[in-house]
């Protein structure tokens, strides 16, 4: 299950960089959960050819992430946003100006 999730995330970020044929096959595996045999029958190729293509796509997508790191950066941004939400949602009394200034500074630092 975890591998399918990882494949889906990689495809979401980098899928448009694959060829149309690669996208078609990869989507069949990741999103439609078709077996290699089903895809092979649909395309008129061997099961091994589909397997090899999926492995090649996995390596291509992983290579993009290794070089570009978009998924890693997205995770870092998401963590920062969650931290900002925690800060903004923390209870603060109106008369506590210093705490408000500190919180604002923390948010700016996170940004």
Flag whether pLDDT at 12 surpasses 70: yes
Rounded to whole angstroms, what are the CA distances from 72 to 5, 52, 62, 76, 77? 15, 27, 12, 6, 9
pLDDT at residue 32, rounded to an integer:
94
Per-residue model confidence as pLDDT tens digits over 33-53: 999 999 999 999 999 999 999
Copy the structure tokens of residue 92.
């603060």
Beta strands in the chain (DSSP E): none
Rounded to whole angstroms, what are the CA distances from 54 to 12, 44, 60? 15, 16, 10
Flag whether pLDDT at 1 surpasses 70: no
Per-residue model confidence as pLDDT tens digits over 18-30: 999 999 999 999 9
Copy the structure tokens of residue 11.
């495809």
Is the distance from CB of 2 to CB of 28 less than 8 angstroms? Answer: no
Is the distance from CB of 52 to CB of 36 less than 8 angstroms? Answer: no
Is the distance from CB of 61 to CB of 68 less than 8 angstroms? Answer: no
């Amino acid at each position: 299950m975890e591998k399918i999730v990882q494949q889906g995330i990689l495809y979401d970020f980098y899928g448009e960089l694959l060829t149309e044929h690669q996208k078609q096959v990869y989507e069949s595996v990741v999103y439609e959960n078709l077996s290699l045999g089903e895809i092979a029958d649909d395309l008129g190729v061997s099961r091994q050819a589909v397997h090899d293509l999926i492995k090649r796509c996995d390596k291509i997508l992983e290579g993009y992430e290794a070089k570009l790191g978009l998924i890693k950066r997205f995770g870092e941004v998401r963590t920062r946003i969650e931290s900002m939400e925690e800060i903004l949602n923390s209870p603060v009394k109106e008369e506590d100006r210093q705490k408000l200034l500190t919180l604002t500074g923390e948010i700016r630092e996170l940004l």
